[in-house]
Amino acid sequence: MFPQQTTVLIVGAGPSGMAAALSLHHQGIRDLVVVDAILAGQNFSRAMVIQAATLEALNSVDCLDGILSAGVKVEAVGLRDTSSDILSADFSLLAGHTKFPFAVILPQVKTEAKMLEKMEEEGIKVWRPYKVVSMKPSLRAEEEDLFEVQFESGEFIKAKYVIGADGAHSVVREQAGISFNDPDGDEKHDYGNLSQMAIADVAFTSEPQIFTSERKVSQTLSSGNMVLVSPFPPTASPDPTRTVYRLVSSVPVDLGTAPHEPSIEYMQRLVDRNGPAQLSSDPARNPNPVRIEKMYWSTRYRTRSAVAESYFAPRKPGVSGGFVLLVGDAAHIHSPMGGQGLSLGIRDGISLGPVLKAHIDRRADGSDAAADNLFEEWATVRHKRAVSVVAMTKKAMGVFVAQGKMWPPMLRFVFAVMRFLGGFKFMKRNVAYKLSGLGEI
Ligand SMILES: Cc1cc2nc3c(=O)[nH]c(=O)nc-3n(C[C@H](O)[C@H](O)[C@H](O)COP(=O)(O)OP(=O)(O)OC[C@H]3O[C@@H](n4cnc5c(N)ncnc54)[C@H](O)[C@@H]3O)c2cc1C
């Protein structure tokens, strides 16, 4: 029987919602309901990388072992032009900062499956399909601190705390009246070729000679474009008989709008045009030409940056019911540059657990204002963090866009300087530190 009332309702069982659920449970909060609009496993895989700070956060709620055993550890991530390396982030140099001096490659569906396994182990159920359509304060005087949350099926639930973990098009955020805009107030920002991305899971005619045992992600910068390639871990591959690669490519503006499901030929064209020589099908560029032979899945998407005006909507006595909190894509979206979205969302969720527990405890002591301050502080920190991640991804996109417009001799000079600086350990460590999310929460 679906419960009619709960202390905490989590809307959305993506990575951020599950992280919040595990963290609340870890804090001893048991009166908790998690709902999701779709059935388990129906989401497609998007993110591939989990950063060190997020591994630490997952470890803090005992949800890391399954993820580590399914994923592949990467010590370095490289940025290159079409022929050779320019700069790399070396996560192994972070050993003094973390127990996990690496990033983990694992497709998002597998990360979600591992988190769900942990939830089931802890006895936390996800109610599906329960799609939230609206949310209003309860009208009964004795329930003035509750929201009444309505589902598409006509059912409803009353809750004191509603956590919006329902992704970029969050109904919770919209119902709470929280705005969601580019922090620079510039929705029309031009990311050139990087405004659209085509993404596909593919197998090649032969294994491209581009990866080493430490380096399993390659990102190529070419004429204002980006091509990223990374092999699936064998435990999470869509095809156990061969190596499958995740391919992400920007779509050059002159190609117009990318198809909904880019074909093998379309992806091959992008790779031949802007990818590393080792992935090229052209014998003139690649002595061991490779072609995309099989495609398992593909899609395209548009790059957009937005951050919720606030992660917390306080209760307004007599006007609104309970408390609204946002985590994950419901609170921030940005380009996938640097693989930050999933990692940041999981950290939002996990960081919320102790704060919500303290809020409940303080209110039980009658310290309502002090309790709300805890949420305000948490929301301010998370907001600041999201704004800085958005700025980082925009800066990275800016480098790609500028590179595409540069005079070739100037570009060669810039790359030479970057290669020179990139040879220093401090540079490899700094880039890794920035990507890892360490030093932040
Ligand atoms: C094409 C693409 C590529 C990406 N690549 C990367 C990458 O390389 N690296 C990276 O870190 N990130 C990447 N991201 C971003 C990453 O996937 C997200 O940051 C991550 O999924 C956020 O998790 P979430 O739990 O906040 O939201 P979601 O994963 O969107 O989960 C939201 C959940 O809420 C449920 N829901 C929605 N509405 C309702 C409702 N009304 N009622 C009930 N449930 C609801 C949904 O069914 C879903 O399960 C990519 C995103 C896209 C689209």
pLDDT over 70 at 215, yes or no: no
Q: Which residue has the tokens 């405004």?
A: 195
> Residue 436 class from Cβ within 10 Å (0-12 exposed, 13-18 middle, 19+ buried)?
buried
Domain ranges of the chain: 5-47+110-185+305-401, 192-302
Tokens at residue 405, please? Answer: 């417009």
Sheet with 72-74, strands from edge to edge, namely 49-50, 103-105, 72-74
Tokens at residue 176, please? Answer: 């709470």
How far does the centroid of ligand 1 lie from the alpha carbon of residue 342, in Å? 8
The CATH number for 192-302, chosen from 3.30.360.10, 3.40.50.720, 3.40.50.970, 3.30.70.2450, is 3.30.70.2450
Element (H, E) at 297: strand 292-302
- Rounded Cα distance between 265 and 272, Å, is 10
Of 250, 329, 347, 385, the residue with max ligand 1 atoms within 8 A of its CB, to mutate for a pocket test, comes to 329
Nearest CA to ligand 1 atom 21: 342
- 127 C-beta closer than 6 A to ligand 1: no
Element (H, E) at 429: helix 425-436
pLDDT over 70 at 42, yes or no: yes
| Residues β-bridged to residue 300 | 198
- Rounded Cα distance between 165 and 16, Å, is 6
pLDDT over 90 at 290, yes or no: yes
At residue 213, the pLDDT reads 66
* Mean pLDDT along residues 153-178: 96
Same fold, 5-47+110-185+305-401 and 192-302: no
- Rounded Cα distance between 333 and 311, Å, is 13
CATH H-level superfamily of 5-47+110-185+305-401: FAD/NAD(P)-binding domain (3.50.50.60)
Identify the band that residue 441 occupies on the pLDDT scale cut at 50, 70 and 90: low
* Mean pLDDT along residues 226-231: 90
Please state the three-class secondary structure of 331-396 as a single string. Answer: CEECCCCCCCHHHHHHHHHHHHHHHHHHHHHHHHCCCHHHHHHHHHHHHHHHHHHHHHHHHHHHHH
Looking at every residue in the chain, the average pLDDT score rounds to 90
Q: Which residue has the higher pLDDT, 274 or 34?
A: 34
